[in-house]
A and B are shown apart, each in its own frame.
Chain A
Amino acid sequence: MNDIKEKILLKGNVAIAKAAIEAGCECYFGYPITPQSEIGEYLSKAMIEENRVFIPVESELAAINMVIGAGSTGTKAMTSSSSCGIALMQEAISAMCCQQIPGVIVSVMRGGPGLGNIAPSQGDYNQACYGGGNGDYKIIVLSPSTVQESIDLTYLSFHLAFKYRCPVMLLADGILGQMMEPCEIGNYPYKNYNYDIESWALDGAKNRKARNLISLHMDLGELEKLNYELNKKNIEIEKNEIRYDKYLTDDASIIITAFGTVARVAKAAIKQAREMGIKAGLFRPITLSPFPSNELYNTINENTKVVLDIEMNLGQMLKDVRSSVFGKCDVKFTGKPGGGIINSDEILQKIIDLNNNIES
């Protein structure tokens, strides 16, 4: 507990912005949208002070395409937006995967569909993990559930983007963006990692042959080959980068699956349930894509009767949970769409109801 004294109180959005600076993000392009505007607001001052690039763009389309431009030169670049703004970026995200250009996209979810509202939501799980871009592509999606984790996963986003030359999305929700919590910025832990940027970046073609990073591959069989290469990379990512968190799952008869804010609310409910003698536990995916499928499957033990998936949407992660559980036990769902917020009393009641069903 002593180290808490060193901690500072930061809003989730500001923490992400500060972490981007610490990670060495050289360019930020963004357009304001609630509930993530503090990221741009903070960086509009901090990036200039650091002598880096801050461009308030005319649209989210411009923002993501500028990330492509900066990323193609091997420069660390980031954009941030919310639901409907991220929707505009989908075509470019597909292109980034094809061109193998690194970049960080921060998505702080609000209520949808459409322009929706500004309440916190998790309605963009599908948008983040399965995207709206064309083609066989996958991106890495990281989901924090505390302000501290928002910092740590911002660092990881920049690292993975350059390690695998791909877009990485940090997926938070309005609560995480707006809330303040004690945290530490610390130091960017991947400073000395060698990414071999020289081997692919567009850096002026001095003393070497010209090269380009394109997303159009017309030669016969060329695109097919590229798709296999990209797939190989995705398998590599799945092997090395899956992250998740477990809480009291070893003997749990009820395992809750939840990500982001809902996971921390569920944890509070699980603590109350344990005090009542109900064996509940939590499985929290941190990488939503790739999803910790095997890890969830292996978490289910002989005591587990039911997996309860809880989300602030109508069941988007549910299909990943179902396919991971693979019939090993029952899967139930509860959620609220369009900015509805789930509190720990509601989750506790669900746990109690499920437990009564199990026992009867």
Chain B
Amino acid sequence: MEKSIIIAGYGGQGVLFAGKLLSYAAIIENFNTTWIPSYGAEMRGGNANCSVKLGDDEIGSPIINKPDILITLNTQSFYHFEKNVKSGGTIFLCGDEDEIVKSRDDINYVFISLKKITKNIKQLSFLNIVALSAMIRKTGMLKIESLILALNKLIPKDKLNILTSNIEAIKLSAQIVFDNKNSKVLV
């Protein structure tokens, strides 16, 4: 098994951190993994992305041309990467179905409704964690407990409040119920 995941959004939304978290959770479950940030001169406020691979075997290139899974935290990244997703792959998009125009019928679209999430979470700062844990719950790629263990490893001990908020965000994603028929996400 080898899975490739691209996480994309605005710089500052925590896409690189979400990727690291995913990689760390993969290590906890004894998978091989690679993480690489978007390559090039990025600027603040611009788009950022990272590529994560995990698998049983050694991983060749850390660079992903056709991801199995794409997580986009903004619509700009969605349009940028939609065409690249592997046939049969899945896009997890933070937003509502009526906000975008789909251009493919050979991939799955999973919408994580922002409106519904923001009712539950005061800040949008944890959108990265909500989206990542929603992906993990939906795909069953890893255990959600590994994600929490990874958070404990990645967040410095003196920043307990950040750790608590992130864990809350993971728990929140448990309330997300997936409607499998049309891959909509209900909260």
Give the interface of A toward B (CB within 8 A). Answer: 1-2, 4-5, 7, 9, 118-120, 174-175, 178-182, 261, 264-269, 271, 341, 343-345
Which 9 residue pairs of A and B lie closest in terms of their CB atoms, listed nearest first? Answer: A268-B60, A180-B35, A265-B61, A179-B36, A179-B62, A265-B60, A1-B30, A182-B27, A4-B30
Q: Which secondary structure characterizes the binding site on chain B? A: loop
A118 to B39 CA separation, bound complex (whole angstroms): 8
23 contacts between A and B (CB under 8 A): A1-B30, A4-B27, A4-B30, A4-B31, A9-B35, A118-B40, A119-B40, A175-B61, A179-B36, A180-B23, A181-B33, A181-B34, A181-B35, A181-B59, A182-B27, A264-B58, A265-B61, A268-B58, A268-B61, A269-B60, A271-B57, A343-B63, A343-B65
B23 touching A175, Cβ below 8 Å: no
Please indicate the chain A residues that have their CB under 8 angstroms from the CB of B58 in the complex: 264, 267-268
Please indicate the chain B residues that have their CB under 8 angstroms from the CB of A120 in the complex: 39
Known: A9-B23, A9-B27. A119 touches B39 (CB 8 A): yes
Asked whether any CB of chain A lies closer than 8 Å to the CB of B24, the reply is yes
Give the interface of B toward A (CB within 8 A). Answer: 20, 23-24, 27-28, 30-37, 39-41, 57-63, 65
Q: Which secondary structure characterizes the binding site on chain A? A: helix
B62 touching A175, Cβ below 8 Å: yes
Shortest Cβ gap from A262 to chain B (Å)? 9
Please indicate the chain B residues that have their CB under 8 angstroms from the CB of A175 in the complex: 36, 61-63
Please indicate the chain B residues that have their CB under 8 angstroms from the CB of A7 in the complex: 27
Shortest Cβ gap from B23 to chain A (Å)? 5
Partner of A178, one of B27, B32, B39, B57: B39
B35 touching A341, Cβ below 8 Å: no
B30 touching A180, Cβ below 8 Å: no
Please indicate the chain B residues that have their CB under 8 angstroms from the CB of A9 in the complex: 20, 23-24, 27, 33, 35
A2 touching B30, Cβ below 8 Å: yes
Please indicate the chain B residues that have their CB under 8 angstroms from the CB of A178 in the complex: 36-37, 39
A343 to B64 CA separation, bound complex (whole angstroms): 9
Known: A4-B27, A7-B27, A174-B39. A343 touches B33 (CB 8 A): no
Please indicate the chain B residues that have their CB under 8 angstroms from the CB of A261 in the complex: 61
Shortest Cβ gap from B43 to chain A (Å)? 14
A182 to B30 CA separation, bound complex (whole angstroms): 10
A118 to B37 CA separation, bound complex (whole angstroms): 13
